[in-house]
Amino acid sequence: MNARSVIVIEDDPFPRILQVILDPRASAERRDAFAHFMAHDVPDFAGWCDETRARVPALYPADIRLVNTQDELRANLPDATAVIVESLTIGSAELALAPALKAIQKYGTITRNIDLAACAARGVPVLTLNRRANIACAEHTIAMMLTLARKLHRITGLISVEQLEAAGFSPTTFDRRHTAFSGWPRITNLKMLHEATLGIIGMGEIGRELSVRAAAFGMRVIYFQRNALTADEETRFGARYATLDALLAESDWVSIQLPETPSTRNFIDREKLAKMKPGAFLINVSRAGIVDRAALINALKSGHLGGFALDPLYEEPGRADDELLQFDNVMLTPHTAAQPRFNALNDFRDLLTGLAKALA
């Protein structure tokens, strides 16, 4: 590659870092913004960029073009050496516009927006990336489920009778001549993930990562989305398709893995919450606006909803007087599910290494 090589990238807050790494024309404002964004995990972000460039010398410098729409993508394809997309489509029409194209990178692993047959016929390799941030979000979901199931957010550090009583529990003692001593704090309604049913709404990148991890806990996993997976994919991810109504009625745990769009805003509303199994838990490691806040609070107040966990929050930064904090069966975390920053940074190093090989 040389300074005139063009990499067209679907614009997104994280892939913009590639502009900072590869394009010397990136603005100082953007460089400073990323340095600030990374500072708590990578104090020397400029040094990290230098080290990354040294690993892929053939890619630097490059002309990075960020595009937001399909039309913008097509307008830049005639000059493109490589394309990186997440949701924008690449088909035979796009390939015909890109005579110099040598590689396509999917920012993820699901390639339904890319015509693989057309790419193969043209001899353009399609690269994928199993993003660590998606795995982290799946792990965070499992952590939230375990926390609520075992009430860890309520009992951690409560080891004395006085502490437990002050927290509203009724600890006791048992006659060890006859019984064991476990359970003396009398923590009621503890649950297990094993043998419980998890319903996943949205089997995209994160939903699939969550499914295999939940299956490893011995959970029964069902899912809903517009298009069912193939039989082979269902076997691979340990899940089976269910209608949305069946999922809500059968699931002990419901996890939302949807993007927030006009069609998904307040998708989980009063009606859908009412269809959930009484006492079931709702986990939202997606976007807060997918769940109608007023309907959620009503479902918690009525006791119909067994518990709720959320990351990120309805407003960021959050407020110490958030009404959701009044419920002892609610867990809120401040937009940390995809962290640490090295998840994304290591992803982009892997992406650039693979892209460099494809373009060699």
Active site (catalytic) residues:
287, 316, 335
If one counts every other C-beta atom within 10 angstroms of the C-beta of residue 41, the result is: 15
If one counts every other C-beta atom within 10 angstroms of the C-beta of residue 110, the result is: 13
**Distance (Å, rounded) from C-alpha 207 to C-alpha 263?**
19
74, two tokens:
């097509």
95 Cβ neighbours under 8 A, 6+ residues apart? 101, 115, 118, 119, 122, 124
146 Cβ neighbours under 8 A, 6+ residues apart? 152, 193
Sheet holding 281-284, edge to edge: 240-241, 220-224, 197-201, 253-256, 281-284, 307-310, 330-332
- Cα 79 → chain centroid: 33
Closest CA to 214 of 155, 144, 110: 144
Report CA-CA distances (Å) from 350 to 212, 228, 347. Answer: 23, 30, 5
Q: For the chain, what is the largest distance between any 2 Cα atoms, rounded to a whole number of angstroms?
A: 83
Helices of type H across 59-204: 70-76, 92-96, 116-122, 132-150, 152-155, 161-166
